[in-house]
A and B are shown apart, each in its own frame.
Chain A
């Protein structure tokens, strides 16, 4: 079994126009996230590798960013004033590539090369290979410091752009994140938003069993961030939190409560699906569940 072009069913999406209502935008995000999950599932199943659990906990966050928040477009990837998004949890590359393809940054057909020899789409994103990628990530704890630098450079150059960084919750066990949050507060980087994909699971166990992060909101608040907690699968809540005006002088922290493997019944909240690969039967079941979601909506 190998991933081929026949497994690429995703079609590039068209974002709602500026006159679209919030409900229309939310419906668009929900359907786009569903399509991204379907395609990403195929990538992981047919390529035989990937990080499907984390992919699916973060899909709604990243879909919302690209679908309705980030001021960036495929023809503006070099624009100095574009918003910056740093995917710190770089191992969810399959889902990220799929999202970039959905929004036109990457030819959809390229997804068929995911993890193939010499492919630009390796297991962790590379900005030199894929347009729209802002940082080469993969080792945990790198994205947040980079995002601090991106946000600081906006201040230094007088650019109105915003910077968003998505970190995993297990990733917060790396001390660099806390160094960076201290610096972000010290430098009053209020155009920086730190999103935590709070799926409560890491590779081997729950975060609570490993190196408990709680009370996470209190910790981030103590480090000087203005923290909000939301349902990380609720596109309306994501939209409102990500679009909100920042608290002056404070970086924003969004703790997005999510489920690893969401919304697949046998994956959700199951640590075995950190980098599990669905077999044929599991794949069919997951596809059926995602397709049923589309019918319901």
Chain B
């Protein structure tokens, strides 16, 4: 049985480790200590956990001010509220103002599957992609989450970092370092490329194994950095494999799939499929909803067969 992880644990332990070495690091929460699993941070640095109450616009604005005062704020709250509620603060106070603030979007995608579309956050990546200067990171496992947190602490600009509660297996090596705009080829192949990130990366890898059994060689790109995008790897995938499937725990348009499609259509058009949620989801566990949207390993493999069949 493969061990499964909650990426919030890596997020918090890394943050505590960084904060011990750097007194500028603070967390800014909206009464979200428990849901962000930030108890260990609160216990270690109670004065550096700034609770603003249930007020996301204020939370992000305060974080911009804390950054202006020399702190490095990690703003943690449920992805759905942090993005939708505070969008103008993210645009103006963080991105337009080039503030070093890390938005830690908790339980994104369908992490709160059973709570319904009010609490699901499938739009966040599409929304934030439109904002100039944002870096968008969607880690796939605890190692990548920890690496992204470390990188974000050192990068002088606004970062949007998804932190998922969905159980995921470990994928990346312990030595992995996050680099914005750089993807990782986690599996090589020549017939089709699966581009995935976040909690569905393991599903893309499993799909590639299913495809291999039937003689289709699938490349898998781990694309944690949605913005900036690894354009070179995508163009190479289009040229060398001739078909692409994107897979993400998000609305199927405007996010990773949209970013990849924009690159493919302008640089080297090839058949593509974009897997994600077609719209508001129903109620169910995250695994149920992701499977239902065609992102089970079998579903991804079927989409891959489809684009391979469309190759000329």
Q: Measuring CB to CB, which residues of chain A are less than 8 angstroms from any residue of chain B?
A: 80, 84, 86, 126-128, 134-139, 141-142, 144-154, 156-157, 159, 175-176, 179-180, 182-183, 186-187
Q: Measuring CB to CB, which residues of chain B are less than 8 angstroms from any residue of chain A?
A: 26, 47-48, 50, 52-53, 55, 57-58, 60-71, 73, 88-89, 92-93, 96-98
Chain B residues contacting A146 (CB-CB under 8 Å) are 61-62, 64-65, 68, 93
Instruction: Please state if A152 and B50 are interface contacts (CB–CB under 8 Å).
Output: yes
Identity of the chain A residue whose Cβ is nearest the Cβ of B56 in the assembled complex: A179
Distance of A261 from chain B, by nearest CB (Å): 28
Chain B residues contacting A154 (CB-CB under 8 Å) are 69
Instruction: Please state if A135 and B57 are interface contacts (CB–CB under 8 Å).
Output: no
Instruction: Please state if B93 and A153 are interface contacts (CB–CB under 8 Å).
Output: no
Given A153-B71, A156-B71, A179-B57, A142-B93 contact (CB < 8 Å):
yes
Of B64, B65, B93, chain A has the most CB atoms within 10 Å of the CB of: B65
Instruction: Please state if A176 and B69 are interface contacts (CB–CB under 8 Å).
Output: no
Instruction: Please state if B68 and A149 are interface contacts (CB–CB under 8 Å).
Output: yes
Chain B residues contacting A148 (CB-CB under 8 Å) are 58, 61-62, 65
Chain A residues contacting B66 (CB-CB under 8 Å) are 149-150, 152-153, 156
Contact of A179 among B47, B53, B73 (CB under 8 A): B53
Q: Can you give 27 contacting A-B residue pairs, CB < 8 Å? A: A86-B65, A128-B98, A135-B93, A135-B97, A136-B92, A136-B93, A137-B92, A142-B61, A144-B61, A145-B60, A145-B65, A145-B93, A146-B93, A148-B62, A149-B61, A149-B68, A149-B69, A150-B68, A150-B69, A152-B50, A153-B68, A153-B70, A156-B66, A156-B71, A157-B70, A179-B52, A187-B50
Instruction: Please state if B47 and A84 are interface contacts (CB–CB under 8 Å).
Output: no
Chain A residues contacting B73 (CB-CB under 8 Å) are 149
Contact of A176 among B61, B63, B64, B67 (CB under 8 A): B61
Instruction: Please state if A127 and B57 are interface contacts (CB–CB under 8 Å).
Output: no
Provide the bound-state CA to CA distance between A80 and B66, in Å. Answer: 12
Identity of the chain A residue whose Cβ is nearest the Cβ of B64 in the assembled complex: A146
Instruction: Please state if B69 and A153 are interface contacts (CB–CB under 8 Å).
Output: yes
Identity of the chain B residue whose Cβ is nearest the Cβ of A90 in the assembled complex: B92
Chain A residues contacting B55 (CB-CB under 8 Å) are 176, 179, 182-183
Identity of the chain B residue whose Cβ is nearest the Cβ of A80 in the assembled complex: B70
Distance of A122 from chain B, by nearest CB (Å): 11
Instruction: Please state if A149 and B67 are interface contacts (CB–CB under 8 Å).
Output: yes
Instruction: Please state if A179 and B92 are interface contacts (CB–CB under 8 Å).
Output: no
Provide the bound-state CA to CA distance between A179 and B30, in Å. Answer: 12
Chain A residues contacting B62 (CB-CB under 8 Å) are 145-146, 148-149, 152, 180, 183
Provide the bound-state CA to CA distance between A91 and B293, in Å. Answer: 47
